[in-house]
Structure 1
Amino acid sequence: MSVKIFLPNFLFHTKENCDIYGEIQINENNSVSYFVIAHRTHESSSQTASAGKNLRHLGHIFRAGQTSALQRRDVALSFAYDEDTSNIYLLKLSIKPADTTHANVFLYDVPKMLQLHRYSVKNATNNAPSIEHSSFEGHCDDDSEQFNDVNMLCRLLNENQEENKRLHKRSIYGPLKRTFYFLSNLITNTVILLLEARLIVSLLRKTVIYDHYLEWRQYRDSGRRKLNITVDKLLGVCVMLFLLFYVAHPGDYLLTTSHLVIQKLRLLLRSLKGSPIGLKLNEHLNNFLLDCFNYHIDLWAKFLDLIEPIVRQLFVPIALLGLIGLSFQLSSLPFLISIIGLHAHCFYIYTAVLYKVEIKGIQVLWKVMLGKRYNVLKNRVESHNYVNRQLYLATIFFTALLFLFPTVLVYYVVFTTLRLCIYLVNLAIQVLRRNLLEFPLQRLLQWTIGQFYDIESIYLAHIPHSPSPLLQPEATKIHMSVFKLNIQKSPLSRVFSCESGILQDFQADDRMSIKNAFNRMLRGTF
């Protein structure tokens, strides 16, 4: 018969009388596991909550002596101590062995085992390996049995902690804590109620701010990034205070940037006049496009002058978004970039339409030149006899489109590249605000202070001890072997490799959107 006792590390060196509480599990191979979860000293009655109402009374720890009344009680476990030895020793078991009993005592640290349980539960939600499938190093004959024991120990510790939290909430500190939490999140809850209103949803459904709010709500509901959301709010408040109190007229910077972009676009159009980088462009088409684009820029400059008072006040609501978080302020930057580069986006649409017409026209007329046509009913290209006037007109139009194609291609490449740069800037802002919430900040902080543990870091260490002869009973010889359940600090690489959360789904969507954007730009669609 195998006897395993899981005991908190601090109780192994205790020097006071106390009751111990926990559970007993009988395994399939006729082995008994005792899980000591909580204790209560005899001198103090205020620790009743730490014992846990759902745990059974296992036994005692008392001073060694033949006249002790606790020694004669019928309990599952009895430990004793004296002043000569530094640790307690097993004195009595509920089982009745024949001659000699050998018991293995496993010492564990409560905070580390609770941290290990939180890690295993969080990984179980992400389809990661749990405690039962980890690598358990040590002096064990049956690994699967040890895995089940460690899992049972973590579960009992977590249930006892949750029970203590519920008792703590019933006290006066529970309502005070909830009141403080509600007041600190009053602004956030108000904004959430506004964003979930039907009128606001209908107005902001297609905006980046509303999309970010949906992503932020997923992070908040998952409960995995509470520290990130707190840091996000602190950074947002700092940026808000900086914009409102330390920057004079922040809207002027937006107007200055807009006029600077207008000047650079005019310089770009001036460089396309004539023969840019030695390219021979069609003079008439080139002048027509330059006149149209310059006129568009002049209209946009006058429009900016008209809405200048409104633009100057845009930074006030953007700064106030810092009360919710810095990520919401970052989500408003694409809106500002759209205001600054709206004319560049319009130029891309104009050139994309011309490019698509050119490509489609050349493809169709090339089939006419080859004496073929596309049969819509049969969905195939087949031969066709064209009359002379059809071939004559097709040749003229094909030649005209062919000679105009280099000019259209240059304009399309220039403004598509400009549009692509704006898209990449918005994508960089999007990745930054998502990583601000998804970065494993809490895990990194735990690793820094040496409190990051995972299921691959458990190993057993034998602890030599020399029990006092006074603790040996006369009837039964109980041999006790002591091991320490050590959980060492995990490497830094595992901090990031173990994190698989919401960001992976967003990254897959980003890769698909980038691929679709490049395909649209190559096809000339928008």
Structure 2
Amino acid sequence: MIAVRFTDFIFRNTALFLEAYIVWLMGWPAGLKLNSSLDKFLGEMYLWLISIWSVGSFHGTTTVSLLLTAMAPIGILGLSSLLSAGIDVLRLATVHVRLFYFLSCRLYSWQVRILTSLFHLFRGRKWNVLRERLDSADYDLDQLLLGTILFSGLVFLFPTVVVYYLLFLGSMLYWMGIELVLRLMVLVLTETPWFELFLWMSNSKMQAAGLQINIIAENVVLSTQPRSLINVLEPLIDAIRGTVLKLANLSNLKCIFTGKPVTQ
């Protein structure tokens, strides 16, 4: 029952969800007028790839159901092993989403780079690859005319590329978020110092974080400082922080705007 529900959830949110939104984008999404030829080409291409994946790889959610059923014996090794296997199955079931995301990234980044180069052409600049800086350059009239024609055409095609890029970016981040939650659950099971935590819950004074020296009436009094809960869970907190920062960082934010694939 769990395998069937899980596979239905994946199929509904990878195939049916994407098909519905691609069909919506092939019209006038939210009143936005896209380039009809490019919109039709991209929409039909992605719908064709989704249909191939649904029929060939998924085959009515049978493949993933068999994988989830085969995962049952892994539960003997513990919940963390079962969750880790679930992450692998999730990545396998959403491989087509990653493929669509990488394709849209390549198209978006390619167009951004060309528009940036043409913009520098209008300013009389060019990028120096060796010195990694913008240098002045002289362009002929025919170069400026050709650049103007290309720039105008790409500007009108850019919104169509952007909406498909945002669709697959959102879908990719959605599945990355689910995978991140599963990874955090594995970290809670593996990185939590359970013995120290139970010992702290039973009597926090049994664990000392340090010594405190007090001078009272010319007498030196030593007392122990009990460990705080944050101090006990410090290994878990550090592991969670490192895992979250691998996805939520400025580098990935820059990748979103430049069209580079987001890493996890």
Name the CA shift for 1:306/1:399 in 2 (closer, same or farther; >3 Å).
Answer: same
**C-alpha displacement of 1:273:** 2.1
Instruction: Choose from 216, 229, 232 the match for 1:495.
Output: 229
Contact 2:71 / 2:82 at 8 angstroms: preserved in 1?
A: yes
1:524 is aligned, of 243, 253, 259, to 259
Does residue 420 of structure 1 match 2:173?
Answer: yes
Equivalent residues, number = 250
Structure 1: distance between partners of 2:247 and 2:166: 20
* Deviation digits for residues 306-363 of structure 1 (CA, Å, limit 9, x no counterpart): 5965433312442211111101111122222223322222221121111101110001
Shift of 1:414: 1.9
Q: Distance in 1 between matches of 2:198 and 2:39?
A: 59
Kept in 1, the 8 Å contact 2:192–2:235? The answer is no
**Where does 1:18-417 land on structure 2 (aligned, <5 Å)?**
247=1, 250-261=2-13, 262-306=15-59, 310-417=63-170
Q: Distance in 2 between matches of 1:283 and 1:426?
A: 36
Label 1:446 to 1:310 Cα distance change in 2 as closer, same or farther (>3 A).
Answer: same
Aligned AA (2:92):
I
Alpha-carbon distance in structure 2 between the residues aligned to 1:420 and 1:362? 26
Q: 3-state DSSP class of the match of 1:431?
A: helix
Is the Cα–Cα contact under 8 Å of residues 111 and 154 in structure 2 kept in the other structure? yes
Change (3 A) 1:494 1:297: same
- Cα deviation code 1:15-70 (max 9, x no counterpart): xxxxxxxxxxxxxxxxxxxxxxxxxxxxxxxxxxxxxxxxxxxxxxxxxxxxxxxx
Task: For 2:242 and 2:37, locate their aligned partners in 1 and report how far apart those are by CA, in whole Å.
Answer: 46
How far the C-alpha of 1:502 sits from its partner, in A, is: 6.5
Moved over 4 A (4+): 305-310, 456-459, 485-488
Cα deviations by residue, 1:60-115 (Å, 9 ceiling, x for unpaired): xxxxxxxxxxxxxxxxxxxxxxxxxxxxxxxxxxxxxxxxxxxxxxxxxxxxxxxx
TM-score, with normalisation over the residues of structure 2?
0.81
Q: Which residue number corresponds to residue 219 of structure 2?
A: none
Percent identity, please.
25
Is residue 348–residue 416 contact of structure 1 (8 Å, CA) maintained in 2? yes
SS of equivalent to 1:314: helix
Q: Paired residue for 1:183?
A: none
Q: How has the CA–CA distance of structure 1 residues 263 and 512 changed in structure 2, closer, same or farther, with 3 Å as cutoff?
A: closer
Cα distance in 2 for partners of 1:421, 1:346 equals 15
Partner Cα separation in structure 2 for residue 285 and residue 322 of structure 1: 48
Quote how far apart the aligned CAs of 1:505 are: 4.8
Q: Deviations over 1:114-169 (max 9, x none)?
A: xxxxxxxxxxxxxxxxxxxxxxxxxxxxxxxxxxxxxxxxxxxxxxxxxxxxxxxx
SS at match of 2:71: helix
Contact 2:126 2:135 in 1 (8 A): yes
Say which is worse superposed, 286-295 or 516-525, in terms of deviation: 516-525
Residue by residue over 1:273-318, the C-alpha shift from the partner in whole angstroms, topping out at 9 and shown as x without a partner, is 2221122211111111110111011101111355965433312442
Q: Secondary structure at the match of 2:135?
A: strand
1:455 aligns with 2:189: no
Deviation at 1:268, TM superposition (A): 1.1
Structure 2 equivalent of residue 508 of structure 1:
242
Q: Give the conservation status (yes or no) of the 8 Å contact 2:97–2:172.
A: yes
Distance in 1 between residues matched to 2:110 and 2:180, nearest whole Å = 29
Whole-Å separation in 2 of the counterparts to 1:505 and 1:337: 22
More displaced stretch, 392-401 vs 432-441: 432-441
> Where does structure 2 lack aligned partners over 5 or more consecutive residues?
213-221
Structure-1 separation of matches of 2:39 and 2:127? 33
Letter in 2 for 1:380: R
Give the corresponding residue for 1:167: none
Whole-angstrom distance in 2 between the partners of 1:389 and 1:395 = 10
Compared with structure 1, are the counterparts of its residues 376 and 267 closer, same or farther at alpha carbon in structure 2 (3 Å cutoff)?
A: closer
The separation in 1 between residues aligned to 2:237 and 2:70, in whole angstroms, is: 28
Q: Could you tell me whether the CA contact under 8 Å between 2:118 and 2:151 is conserved in 1?
A: yes
User: CA, structure 1 residues 377+520, in 2 after alignment: closer, same or farther (shift >3 Å)?
Assistant: closer
Distance (whole Å) between structure 2 residues aligned to residue 423 and residue 431 of structure 1: 12
1:432 to 185, 204, 212: 185
Give distance in 1, aligned partners of 2:165 and 2:43: 13
Q: Secondary structure at the match of 1:280?
A: coil
Once the two structures are TM-superposed, the CA of residue 254 in structure 1 deviates from its matched residue by 4.3
- Larger % of strand: which? 1
Larger Rg: 1
CA 393–354 in structure 1, closer or farther in 2 if over 3 Å, else same? same
2 CA distance for matches of 1:392 and 1:449? 79
SS at 1:410's partner residue? helix
Equivalent position amino acid for 2:97 in 1:
A
8 Å Cα contact 1:257/1:340 also seen in 2: no
> Where is the helix percentage greater, Structure 1 or Structure 2?
2
- Whole-angstrom CA distance in 2 between matches of 1:361 and 1:446: 61
Deviation at 1:374, TM superposition (A): 2.5
Against the structure 1 CA distance between its residues 521 and 332, is the aligned structure 2 distance closer, same or farther, given a 3 Å change threshold? farther
Aligned to 2:216: none
